[in-house]
Structure 1
Amino acid sequence: MQARAKTIQIFLPSGDPQGIRQAEITTRIVRLIEVPRALLKDFLAMPESAGGAVYFLFGDAEESAKPKVYIGQTTDLKKRLVKHHKERDFWQRAVVMLSRAESLTTTHSLYLERLCIKGAKEADRFVVENDTNGNKLNTTKPMEAECEELFETGETLMSTLGFQLFERPAKPVDGAHVYFCTASGTEARAQYTAEGMAVLKGSKARGQVTDSFKDKGFHVLRKQLEAEGILKPAGGQLVFTQDYLFKSPSAAAAIVVGNNMNGWLSWKNQEGKTLDAVVRQVAA
């Protein structure tokens, strides 16, 4: 189905764009509220915290290159968030999905929770902390259709708030331009996408890093990719075992070469033209 234009309303209760934010498509009943953990007390004083909801806890996963999320549902949001505040350390922001019409039943919430866990695992952008895929329910086809429409709205609002929980990363496209990085003996191939630089499976990265690289943030990411098996040792180099999307050409080049690099100049096409010449200079 072709995507349709949408009007989304963002409301800042305190006027602070870094504070609590509410997002909704005004013609639909789903509302998402993003809550920084430091402002949890303020949210708990809001009437929206009193009922039921599907909720998401976002934070960093120390053992992974990906961020972490926990997805749950409850009939008493205030009580559940207070419990998670006391017992779960990792999260820094919560997002709650609720009905403006207060029409979500427990069955709705349970089915939505299952859809959200499934969607997050399929997108594979976050480490999903849930041990299970949610509860299996005997639901009617009309209710499933209703929940899937609610999920679609929630998916759009989640991305609008900056959480690409359900969006599958842009995949390399057959026939698209391929760029190469061969600095320091590397043999890496990548495609430039709307989301960043996708280094292709089988690319060979430098086995060692420079001393100056060891105190950089990208070095931590490189070690995490090794720990997860995305980069595996082979013949003195590290080989990508799968396609991997980096947020920028420079991030991709830095991981491949093991040194700080200007990716716009490091990645070149078959004719030897830099990514900068092919993409940025043409668009300027």
Structure 2
Amino acid sequence: MTIKRPRTIQIFLPTGDPSGIRIAEQTTSIIRLIEVPRSEMADFVKMPESKQVGLYFLVSGDNKDELYIGQSGEVGSRLMQHYKDPKKEWEHALVLVSLTNNLTQTHVLYLESLSIEKAKDCQRYDLSNDNSGQKPHTPIPLKADCDEMHSIGSLLLATLGYPIFEPLTESSPSKAEQVFICNRAGLKARAIYTNEGMVVLKGSSAPMLTKRKTEQRFFDKRDALLAKGIISSDGERFEFERDYLFQTPSGASMFLLLATSNGWQDWKTEQGVTLHEFQERTIDSVITQEA
């Protein structure tokens, strides 16, 4: 998890196209992250960074939620192998290199293993790696450097829209997060509203069928999460096997109800305060304190 404090991040567009290659750096760090759309691979291999030792992430899926993590002594050549392999489905590569070109094979082997471990812990992406990487013997000073690189890399990834190593909810005991419940139509669901959307918590459950008027798209979404193992079913109910992020409160409640819903009204605190009312009170409280 990236420590939250003020940072300055620079994003450079070498072609001027915001949907093309993007290069992100923290102004006080030597770590550089390059986002390469698959269609721009020819341009990337011309860049000097493609000849460097590097760590890379391949992202695919309709929701950009499928991930492969790898490393190479010459990252451009390795990505070209992935590019030419018709069985490898990916749309974006994210390449982590050093501005001073001082990464070694030991650095990236350690970073690969650490990244796979952290990505599994966060459970945001479906990881396609068959193993956990090769964790080499790493001297304490080198390990400290790698941990710092991973922290900066995590920040840069999240800045570009890939929060691979960011927990869905706050894990700090000093910051208690408000839990909202939805118990309509046999639901037993708990969730937390974050700046990314609504996180439905592990253990939340709902009936597999509904008597309400519904659409096929709700069943399609449910079946997709069943296939991925994010939810499980006993035939009558389905249950979340891990925390899962929905982009909106309504998206979360509609998924559970298998029908249309206004999540701002259907998610409530245990005291019956709707999410809309809770947010309104929070804003009013801040305005009052500042007055």
Give the TM bin, normalised by the shorter chain. 0.7 to 0.9
Task: Please report the TM-score for the alignment, with normalisation by the length of structure 1.
Answer: 0.87
- Corresponding residue of 1:84: 82
- What is residue 204 of structure 2 aligned with on the other side? 203
- The one-letter code of the counterpart of 2:75 is L
Given the alignment of the two structures, is residue 40 of structure 1 paired with residue 33 of structure 2, yes or no? no
More displaced, 188-197 or 130-139?
188-197
Name the CA distance, whole Å, in 2 between partners of 1:95 and 1:269.
40
| Partner residue, 1:213 | 215
Do the aligned partners of residues 4 and 268 (structure 1) sit closer, same or farther apart at CA in structure 2, a change above 3 Å counting?
Answer: closer
Q: Which residue of 1 aligns with 2:274?
A: 274
8 Å contact kept, 1:178–1:191 = yes
Q: Quote the offset at 1:18 in angstroms.
A: 1.1
Alignment correspondent of 2:68: 70
From the superposition, tell whether residues 66 and 159 of structure 1 become closer, same or farther in structure 2 (CA, over 3 Å).
closer
Partners of 1:76 and 1:269 in 2: CA distance: 53
Aligned residues of 2:34 and 2:95 also touching (Cα < 8 A) = yes
Equivalent residue, structure 2, for 1:159: 158
Partner of 2:156: helix, strand, or coil? helix
1:124 to partner: Cα distance: 1.4
Unaligned runs of 5+ in 1: none
The residue aligned with 1:126 is: 125
**Residues of 1 paired with 2:98 and 2:177: CA distance?**
42
Q: Which runs of no fewer than 5 residues in structure 2 stay unpaired? A: 285-291
Percent identical residues? 42
TM-score normalized with structure 2 length? 0.85
For 2:265 and 2:120, the matched residues in 1 are separated by 35
Compare 198-207 and 141-150 and name the one that shifted more: 198-207
Tell me, what secondary structure is at the counterpart of 1:91?
Answer: coil
Contact 1:206–1:258 under 8 Å retained in 2: no
Residues 117/243 of structure 1: CA separation in 2 closer, same or farther (3 Å cut):
closer
**Structure 2 CA distance for partners of 1:253 and 1:51, relative to 1, 3 Å:** same
RMSD of aligned C-alpha atoms?
2.7
Distance across 2 between alignment mates of 1:109 and 1:202:
37
Q: Counterpart in 2 of 1:181?
A: 182
Counterpart in the other structure of 2:108: 109
* Structure 2 CA distance for aligned equivalents of residues 262 and 234 of structure 1: 27
Deviates more, 1:78-87 or 1:228-237: 228-237
Distance 1:111 1:229, change over 3 A: closer
